[in-house]
Structure 1
Amino acid sequence: MPTARDPERASHPIQVVARRTGLSTYVLRAWEHRYNAVAPARSASGRRLYSDADVERLTLLQSATRAGRRIGEVASLAREDLVEMCLADSFFRASAPAIPIVDSAPPEVDQHLRTCLEAIRQMNPFALEAALYNASVAVSVQALLENVMCPLLHAIGHECRHGDMRISEEHMASAIIRSFLGTLKLNGRVPRHSELTVVVTTPAGQRHELGALMAAVTAANEGWNAIYLGADLPADEIAAAAFRTGARAVAVSITYPDSDPQLVSELRRLRRQIGFAVVLLVGGGGASTYRRLFEEIGALRLENLIALRDALGKLSAST
């Protein structure tokens, strides 16, 4: 007869906990070090081992932060208080009208955005790196990307176009953000299934990669095996990577320019190379002018990261 499992017995490695809670290993470590959210045991080799009680607590904390609460305000709460809080939040969400998270960012998320912009204006890469780190431990990956990173990139682009930000400031910010997103992806969730692979890149001539990198982080956070190839890749190479990895989808980001004949040719060639068994996802600020092309080649245009998550969710359900 099976015996009851001891909830305090530490047996779960960090990758399992990341999968169960939806938190990246990056955030798990940060919540432990900075907020003492949990205190995992250590194996003989020094690896973190979490108990069932740890997993439950982290799941409750994840729920609380998704509801808009700051991790620093809830990390020290007792289990009973967390349960009561999460139940109340759940009841409110069920009874309230649905509001997209991108339109309802908590005030502290706006503060993270302002802090990042101020660090860029001061040409202070260390302050920008710290601001991004602080944001990553305060909110979920989804909220970080949609409510901090996307508005931040839009603000940088707007200020550059209007002469309010120097090119050197933009380049500094891009370098720090690229490194930060790369770390975020590497510390993302463990893929749920080996067949859930998506290749992410930008087509030849498209050198702005931060949108594609955010798409890769989003896919990884949704449990996909996100193969990020960098920027400015010819159609033949994208297709070769898709076939070699057995990708279910290819996601490309387009930023500029409008009505580019080279881009049209590259996307047509990419569709011919990968066939229609592989889903072609296209996003980015420059994608809106290519609607007819997307209809022609059977590509799915994505307005934002929320649309990407929805598309990946549907693909995952059909796999």
Structure 2
Amino acid sequence: MYNYFITFIKEGSTMYNIKAVSKLLDMPTVTIRSWETRYQAITPERTESGHRVYTEENLNDLKWLKKQIHENGLNISQAVHLLKAKKAEETTLELLPDTGDNDPEERFKKQIDELYAAVLELEADKCNRLLDLYFSQFNYHTVFYSIVVPLMYKVGEEWEKGNLHVVKEHMISNIILHRSIRFFSVFETSPNLPRIMAICPKGEHHQLGLILFTLFLREKHYPVYYIGADTPLEGIADLIKEKDINILAISTSRQTDQSLVESYIDSISKINPSLKYLVGGLGIKETQLTNNRLNISPDDRNWEQIMDLITYSS
């Protein structure tokens, strides 16, 4: 058992030789070496004598890659790309400020409450001053995801209960929109990436999810045309063709909009048959890829993987 499965124990961690990895994962050793050297899927450690040894993390990564290939139909290049994106996202989350509380609403309750109090008083200048302060104190990811998102959920809930005037909801929504658009322009775009247009269908005014997704895309240097809320169908297909758009991102918060979204896609596809579609928001129940369309559930934040799936889909 020791000779076959375990090479040695190092600092409390089990290390495996390539034969052990092959046996445990039911993978040929030649495949393991190919994924390691040709695709840089994993980086094994070395013994003092120079022999490769594989960690538990290496095994888990190989197992994950194998699943993507055999169960999800990806090739090894696509799977490795997704794995690296997944690890990058996990690293980003680890770098967020830690105040000892894992709940963002509790960690940043003071900031959320300060902003909400300014909204209640209809004090736009104070809202902007507070946002200036938060952006100077925290990473912009923290401000958007741990302060702005919980704030806007609270604003929406209080408005629906009748505790917040719609004018106040509109004020903070416009402030957040303008702040976000300013961030869009910070990131340079790459001509080698797909061109994307981001819209909400007619009648849809909730665009926070679309804003955050667009911010993510711009961070990754995608050229994005942000059109935003309440986009009419009339003329949009011609505009997509004029701007040589490759992907249309549609966001809706209403499950009743399913037929409306279908009408957008059917109409636009007649003029732009090769266009791909990303449909997300609270109106979508689950993540699912079908032909040239990828639905994104509201709790799916693996956006790196999502962009690879829609880019590589036929």
TM-score (norm 1): 0.57
Shift of 1:190: 0.9
Number of paired residues? 222
The answer to whether the Cα contact below 8 Å between 2:279 and 2:295 also exists between their aligned partners in 1 is: yes
Residues 48-87 of structure 1: pairs in structure 2 closer than 5 A? 67-69=95-97
Secondary structure in 2 matching 1:163: coil
Task: Check the 8 A contact 2:247/2:278 in 1, yes or no.
Answer: yes
Q: Which runs of 5+ in 1 are unaligned?
A: 1-62, 71-100
Residue 276 of structure 2, aligned match among 271, 279, 282 = 279
Mapped pair 1:144 → 2:155: no
| Structure 1 residues 65 and 300, CA gap change in structure 2 (3 angstroms) | closer
Q: In the alignment, what sits opposite 1:159?
A: 158
Q: Map Cα deviations across residues 185-230 of structure 1 (whole Å, 9 max, x no partner).
A: 222x112344332111112232333432332222112221111123
Seen in structure 2, the aligned counterparts of structure 1 residues 297 and 64 have a Cα distance that, compared at 3 Å, is closer
Residue 313 of structure 1 deviates from its aligned partner by 5.1
Distance 2:132 2:97 in 1: 17
How far is 1:173 from its partner? 1.3
RMSD: 3.6
Question: SS at the partner of 1:205?
Answer: coil
Kindly provide the CA deviation profile for residues 48-68 of structure 1, in whole angstroms up to 9, marking residues without a partner as x.
Answer: xxxxxxxxxxxxxxx999623
Q: Secondary structure at the match of 1:190?
A: coil
Q: Is the CA contact 1:283–1:304 (under 8 Å) kept in the aligned structure 2?
A: no
Task: Tell me: higher relative CO, structure 1 or 2? Use CA pairs within 8 A at least 6 residues apart.
Answer: 1
1:120 CA drift (Å): 0.8
- Quickly say closer, same or farther: Cα 1:151–1:133, change in 2 above 3 A: same
Q: Secondary structure at the match of 2:256?
A: coil
Change in Cα spacing, 1:234 to 1:65, as seen in structure 2 (3 Å) is: closer
State which structure, 1 or 2, has the greater radius of gyration over its C-alpha atoms. Answer: 2
SS of equivalent to 1:202: strand
SS of the aligned residue for 2:301 comes to helix
Partner of 1:308: 303
Q: Once structures 1 and 2 are overlaid, which stretch shifts more, 191-200 or 156-165?
A: 191-200
For residue 206 of structure 1, the aligned residue among 204, 213, 231 is 204
After superposition, the Cα gap between the structure-2 partners of 1:238 and 1:309, relative to the gap in structure 1 and judged at 3 Å, is farther
- Contact map agreement 1:117 1:152 (CA 8 A) in 2: yes
Pair 1:127–1:305, CA change in 2 (3 A): farther
- 2 CA distance for matches of 1:207 and 1:64? 30
Q: Cα 1:273–1:254, aligned 2, differ >3 Å: closer, same or farther?
A: farther
Q: Percent identity?
A: 15
Change (3 A) 1:299 1:311: closer
Amino acid of the residue matched to residue 299 of structure 1?
L
Secondary structure of the equivalent of 2:216?
helix
How far off its partner does 1:263 sit?
Answer: 4.1
- Confirm or deny: 8 A CA contact 1:205 1:232 kept in the other structure: yes
What amino acid sits opposite 1:68 in the alignment? Answer: L
Aligned residue for 2:240, secondary structure, equals helix
Q: Deviations over 1:140-166 (max 9, x none)?
A: 333333222222221111111112212
Q: Relative to structure 1, is the Cα distance of residues 251 and 242 closer, same or farther in structure 2, using a 3 angstrom cutoff?
A: same
* TM-score between the two structures when normalised by the length of structure 2: 0.58
Bigger proportion of residues as helix: 1
Shift of 1:169: 1.4
**1:269 is aligned to 2:267:** yes
Offset at residue 280 of structure 1 (A):
0.9
**In structure 2, what is the Cα distance between the partners aligned to 1:122 and 1:156?**
13
Structure 2 residue aligned with 1:217, among 209, 215, 218? 215
Q: Are the counterparts in 2 of residues 271 and 280 from structure 1 also a CA contact under 8 Å?
A: no
In structure 1, C-alpha distance between the alignment counterparts of 2:300 and 2:118, rounded to whole Å: 25
Distance 1:106 1:157, change over 3 A: closer
Contact 2:207–2:228 (8 Å) recurs in 1: yes
Asked if the contact 1:249–1:281 (Cα under 8 Å) also holds between the matched residues in 2, the reply is yes
Question: How far off is 1:291 after superposition?
Answer: 8.6
Could you tell me whether the CA contact under 8 Å between 1:284 and 1:304 is conserved in 2? no
1:53-132 equivalences under 5 Å are: 67-69=95-97, 105=104, 109-132=108-131
Structure 2: segments with no counterpart, 5+ residues: 1-90
Partners of 1:236 and 1:270 within 8 A in 2: no
Distance 2:138 2:300 in 1: 16
Question: 1:109-128 deviations in whole A, cap 9, x for unaligned?
Answer: 44332222121122211111
